[in-house]
Amino acid sequence: MNVTTAPESDSDIEISKMIDDYIDGNLSVDEIENIWVFFIQNPGWYSYFETALTLRSIREDLAQNKY
């Protein structure tokens, strides 16, 4: 992940979509194993994953509390 370049490359978009699919529970067992290997090899993307989880949790909490 290169945060200094814009727009995102096609591979960045694909990785972001794969992370969203993982969070949504739409990956196979093999894809889940592959994404964890990818996170180990690319810690910046793991940070992105953690941020995506946090933001989704906040959004869901806000929706339930109807702020």
How far is 31 from 65, CA to CA, in rounded Å? 34
* 22 located within any domain: yes
Does 5 reside within a domain? Answer: no
CA dist 32 and 37 (Å) reads 9
Tell me, what's the pLDDT at 18?
97
Q: Which residues form the domain of 17?
A: 10-65
Residue 43 belongs to a domain: yes
Q: Do the domain assignments include residue 4?
A: no
Check residue 6 and report its DSSP letter. S
DSSP letter at 9? Answer: P
Q: What would the pLDDT profile of 17-54 be if each residue is shown by its tens digit?
A: 999 999 999 999 999 999 999 999 999 999 999 999 99
Residue 34 belongs to some domain of the structure? yes
Q: Which two tokens stand for residue 63?
A: 């929706």
Domain-located, residue 25: yes
Band of pLDDT at residue 8, cut at 50, 70 and 90 = confident
Q: How many domains does the chain have?
A: 1
